[in-house]
Amino acid sequence: MPILALLLGLAVMAGEVVRRGDSVLQQPRALDDLVAGAVLVLTGLLGRRLRASWHAAGWALFTGVMLATFGLNLDAWLAAADKPRAELYVPVLAALVLTGAAATIWWARRR
């Protein structure tokens, strides 16, 4: 699970940087993904040194951020709004929400 957290956290942060370019830190909408990704990277790096509750909290934060982004993209897609690639983002974000929810539950059940 720590390896999954590390890889997924890096992927989310890299995706946000690729998407927004060198202005990523100047756009507040990018900060939630960057923070959630950084928290996952941190929990992945610290691994067993952290209590399970910290891992569950990190995954819960990630899941919440992905769920909010999923809702925005689903709304844009269903309303046929002028949001590029919403039809691509919706299934990817749904998979991320499911992964994050499963990881949160997995860590929450550990002692």
The domain ranges of the chain are: 2-108
Regions of the chain short of the pLDDT cut 50: none
Write down the pTM of the prediction: 0.88
CB-CB contact of 42 with 80 (8 Å):
no
7-29 pLDDT per residue, tens: 999 999 998 888 877 777 777 77
pLDDT reported for residue 37 = 95
The structure tokens listed for 13 are 């942060």
Start-to-end Cα distance in the chain: 15
What pLDDT was estimated at residue 27?
77
